[in-house]
Amino acid sequence: IADLLPAKNGEEPTMQFLLEVVEILTNYVKKTFDRSTKVLDFHHPHQLLEGMEGFNLELSEQPESLEQILVDCRDTLKYGVRTGHPRFFNQLSTGLDIVGLAGEWLTSTANTNMFTYEIAPVFVLMEQLTLKKMREIVGWPDGEGDGIFSPGGAISNMYSVMIARYKFFPEVKTKGMTAAPRLILFTSEHSHYSIKKASAALGLGTENLILLKTDERGRVIPADLEAKVIEAKQKGSVPLFVNATAGTTVYGAFDPINEIADICEKYNIWLHVDGAWGGGLLMSRKHRHKLSGVERANSVTWNPHKMMGVPLQCSAILVRERVSGLLQGCNSMCAGYLFQPDKQYDVTYDTGDKAIQCGRHVDIFKFWLMWKAKGTVGFEQHIDKCLDLSAYLYNKIKNREGYEMVFDGELCTNTTAPSCFCTVHSIPKVAPKIKAMMMESGTTMVGYQPQGEKVNFFRMVISNPAATMSDIDFLIEEIERLGQDL
Amino acid sequence: IADLLPAKNGEEPTMQFLLEVVEILTNYVKKTFDRSTKVLDFHHPHQLLEGMEGFNLELSEQPESLEQILVDCRDTLKYGVRTGHPRFFNQLSTGLDIVGLAGEWLTSTANTNMFTYEIAPVFVLMEQLTLKKMREIVGWPDGEGDGIFSPGGAISNMYSVMIARYKFFPEVKTKGMTAAPRLILFTSEHSHYSIKKASAALGLGTENLILLKTDERGRVIPADLEAKVIEAKQKGSVPLFVNATAGTTVYGAFDPINEIADICEKYNIWLHVDGAWGGGLLMSRKHRHKLSGVERANSVTWNPHKMMGVPLQCSAILVRERVSGLLQGCNSMCAGYLFQPDKQYDVTYDTGDKAIQCGRHVDIFKFWLMWKAKGTVGFEQHIDKCLDLSAYLYNKIKNREGYEMVFDGELCTNTTAPSCFCTVHSIPKVAPKIKAMMMESGTTMVGYQPQGEKVNFFRMVISNPAATMSDIDFLIEEIERLGQDL
């Protein structure tokens, strides 16, 4: 690598090296969309650690040749998982958007940091405009409010708790949690575990996070919230924060935001909507009613890297109140080496002090570029298609011999893309066995898990723009093929 | 974009589009290393917002053509800042490593998530091996211990406080901060503001973070630490955590770790070393003595994306104690949909539950690939070169008319790459004016700031592998040229 830039005369070898890398990558892209390619070529950890034919993961003292580096790149992709494959249904983030990919390539080439306008002028403005647009779509007048992109939904949700605490008990910032009464958070028993992580990390304590009962479809029962709020107050605690989930991780359920908002307003509690998964539905005129009432939330998490198909990582925390500068107030420490007040430009564009991070990766560009390329209508079409496919799967499974839906079909119109079902051999060991065989054969991937008293069942996620009805058919056939010998 | 994959017959247009993007990017790379190219083409926020000749930042309803997308890519780079330019000295992260760049391109193409071995088998193992190697280099026997890559140094430092709290007061996780006595953190008055951010976020309170006095060179005075520990205990508080900085953000100072470790051991306090900036020196046999005693730390932050020139983001938190699984214990919530215990592979490789995040970006691959390409010796050479350049700048400025060093030169051997100096016209307004003119002319970039009672001075960062002595000369000449008219 001594020949590469910044070496003298390094231009030629650098261009040649990068183009060889691009050839490896574009071949990978092509094959990812080819259904005859496997989704993965599974190996156990010990196998990869022992080294596969010239692929040695160990780091060494001396440099490798550029030829070996190219081989390493090829092997890294070979033994990985093709998350963009049309038959990869395993996680909430699937798919490989070509424009988003180009955006990420550019982002890494620009290799800068979001903390100041000084070193990221274009990206800072793109972030500002995109956040405003997202707030408009949430339904806040003129897109007013605040927000920031964070490294993921868990951190976005953590922000929401921090901001709520700062809003009601700003002295916690300086004096710590002992300056506040016992604060209580509420969230659905089906909600994402990041709310629990936040309550542990921020010093509130997981025991002060109250889990709310859900109906058979996995939606919070508002009466249970109100009862528990009253109970907490009777015990002398302060109900601080309610999380309503828009698209739960497993069932894809939407909590009834309006009814929850009524209770939050009545008792003066911060309402957060975790739309990490379901936020994408706001782009669809047909489906956005599932988040009806979201405009009443004080804060919203929305991950474009999930249902909208933006490459990882891309998550936004949106805050309704702007005037008081909650986000800034909550996190700012005014570091003199970054946020000098005497710069020549308008320093209100230096947004770094709003973050709990210092350096912050540029997550905006790929999303901005995809939005340019698709238009708002393009995202809408994608969301509508995902929901159509979800309905297709539901109808296919509903009356099929050997399967049952995990939750009541009548309510299915209130769901989003994840569809949960199990085979009738729904003893806890069947799903793991089928999944293991699926990974060994590498033909498709779908997740499974237990939930509450339910045994291991499959959770089918549809967010991949490349998936079609035939891929859904394939998945079902594959489950049946693999399950035959059990 | 309707023609791109996954569209039918989308292969050809996809390849064409990606290659056109790559041409834009490789041209940008070439020009970045060309000293006749400007570092930036500065525009004020309102200018970019109003739209520059066909570059419109606003998002719209309808899709743009692919041709326009390519123009947008070109313009985004045009109005950005070339952080890889040999004359960009503005931040701790500078430079554009070609192999690291290739690694990031591959990472975005693989577009997966670190939470499970299931969907990131190769990357999970690379992370494990690399963390072990880093711990060996820190000096922990057999590289034992724990760790994780996080979205940046601020989050890594936040982890260290969380883990310390969990080690001594595990019940805070469930019961909140009220389950613990008043906990006190200690850090240098010159330390990075992320320690303060962590104390606010985690519910400890910034008032419970005690700032330690430093000597004229910016290094913690151990006697001041001990006095303040004793004082805190006398007040009935519990000293929990000391942060020693290895390479402060502004002065580049190294706190005396061994003397601090003695005090921490005496009083049973968690010792964290924030080596976000200075950790890179551990790769150099010549310079690693500046972190002498680091192996006595309980945890270490080390950002390869700073002095080691790895593209953003790449930050590790390393933990000495493994047996008790502190990182796991502190953060785990055992989400059933991700971390099923009944998988077919060894699930100890599912490291996601150690994180405060759920989804986690793949930050390891570019670093691993650079390590392969350079070898340990290559990083050593890079570090040594940066420190040599730093000494060159010091000697150049030391006796030069019109300048003074901000801190005592005698102690300079204990510094690392950031060199701080001011012009003798060191009234507070000179540095901002020169900086503003520098940005307008776009020829080079260097940061300035006040620190304590010192007026605005320049902070010169040398971490760019492309920088040479002639670039240092250029910077000084440019400061003099721009300062002439003041």
pLDDT tens-place string over residues A346-369: 999 998 899 999 999 999 999 999
Q: A110 is written with which tokens?
A: 């620009």
Using CB atoms, pick whichever of A59, A60, A336 lies closest to residue B449: A336
pLDDT tens-place string over residues A19-31: 999 999 999 999 9
Q: What are phi and psi of A64, to 5 degrees?
A: -95, 160
Q: How far is CA B211 from CA A37, B102, B133, B184, B193, in A?
A: 58, 42, 33, 11, 11
Q: What are phi and psi of B19, to 5 degrees?
A: -70, -35
Radius of gyration from C-alpha coordinates of chain A: 24
Using CB atoms, pick whichever of A45, A121, A377 lies closest to residue B349: A45
Domains of chain B, residue spans: 112-364
Min mean pLDDT across A110-119, A272-281, A422-431, B24-33 is at A422-431
**Cβ neighbours of B10 in A, within 8 Å:** 33
* pLDDT of A11 over the 90 cut: yes
Q: How far apart are CA B136 and CA B268, in angstroms?
A: 24
Residue B154, pLDDT score:
97
pLDDT band at B398 (very low <50, low <70, confident <90, very high): confident
pLDDT band at A456 (very low <50, low <70, confident <90, very high): confident
Residue A341, pLDDT score:
86
Per-residue pLDDT, averaged over A313-341, amounts to 90
Q: Do A177 and B178 touch (CB under 8 A)?
A: yes
Residue type, B314: C
The answer to whether the beta carbons of residues B250 and B278 sit under 8 Å apart is no
Q: Residue B137 in 3-state DSSP?
A: helix
Nearest residue in B to A35, CA atom: B6
Q: How far apart are CA B158 and CA B91, in angstroms?
A: 21
Q: How far apart are CA A325 and CA A338, in angstroms?
A: 19
Top-level CATH class of B112-364? alpha beta
Per-residue pLDDT, averaged over A188-215, amounts to 97
pLDDT tens-place string over residues B345-373: 999 999 889 999 999 999 999 999 999 99
Q: B319 is written with which tokens?
A: 């933990």
Min mean pLDDT across A424-438, B68-82, B189-203, B272-286 is at A424-438
User: What is the rounded average pLDDT for all residues in chain B?
Assistant: 92
Q: Which residues contact A320 (CB under 8 A, 6 or more apart)?
A: A135, A140, A144, A145, A297, A298, A299
Distance from CA of A37 to the nearest CA of B (A): 14
Q: What is B401-456 written as a DSSP string?
A: TTEEESS-GGGGGG--S-EEEEESS-STTHHHHHHHHHHHHTS-EEEEEEETTEEE
Q: How far apart are CA B388 and CA B22, in angstroms?
A: 35
Q: A250 is written with which tokens?
A: 């497993």
Is B476 an 8 Å CB contact of chain A?
Answer: no
Residue A419, pLDDT score:
61
* pLDDT of A86 over the 80 cut: yes
Per-residue pLDDT, averaged over A286-296, amounts to 96
* pLDDT of A393 over the 90 cut: no
Give which of B266, B216, B264 is closest to B244, Cα–Cα.
Answer: B264
Q: Which residues contact A381 (CB under 8 A, 6 or more apart)?
A: none
Per-residue pLDDT, averaged over B182-200, amounts to 97
Q: Do A174 and B333 touch (CB under 8 A)?
A: no
Residue B420, pLDDT score:
62
What fold, for A112-363? Aspartate Aminotransferase; domain 2 (3.40.640)
Q: How far apart are CA B379 and CA B415, in angstroms?
A: 19
Is A217 an 8 Å CB contact of chain B?
Answer: no
Residue type, A482: L
Per-residue pLDDT, averaged over A456-478, amounts to 91
Is B176 an 8 Å CB contact of chain A?
Answer: yes
Q: Which residues contact B310 (CB under 8 A, 6 or more apart)?
A: B97, B100, B304, B366, B367, B370
Q: Which of residues 332-371 of B touch A (CB under 8 A)?
A: 333-338, 340, 342-346, 349, 355-362, 365, 368-369, 371
Distance from CA of A168 to the nearest CA of B (A): 14
Residue B323, pLDDT score:
72
Count Cβ atoms below 10 Å from residue B418 Cβ, excluding itself.
25
Residue A414, pLDDT score:
39
Count Cβ atoms below 10 Å from residue B357 Cβ, excluding itself.
27
Is A52 an 8 Å CB contact of chain B?
Answer: no
The answer to whether the beta carbons of residues A438 and A403 sit under 8 Å apart is no
Residue B427, pLDDT score:
55
Count Cβ atoms below 10 Å from residue B410 Cβ, excluding itself.
9
Residue A361, pLDDT score:
97
Q: Residue A345 in 3-state DSSP?
A: coil
pLDDT tens-place string over residues B137-180: 999 999 999 999 999 999 999 999 999 999 999 999 999 999 99
Q: Which residues contact A185 (CB under 8 A, 6 or more apart)?
A: A161, A195, A199, A204, A208, A209, A210, A240, A241, A242, A243
Residue A325, pLDDT score:
87
pLDDT tens-place string over residues B89-143: 998 899 999 999 999 999 999 999 999 999 999 999 999 999 999 999 999 999 9
Q: What are phi and psi of A392, to 5 degrees?
A: -60, -45
Residue B422, pLDDT score:
59
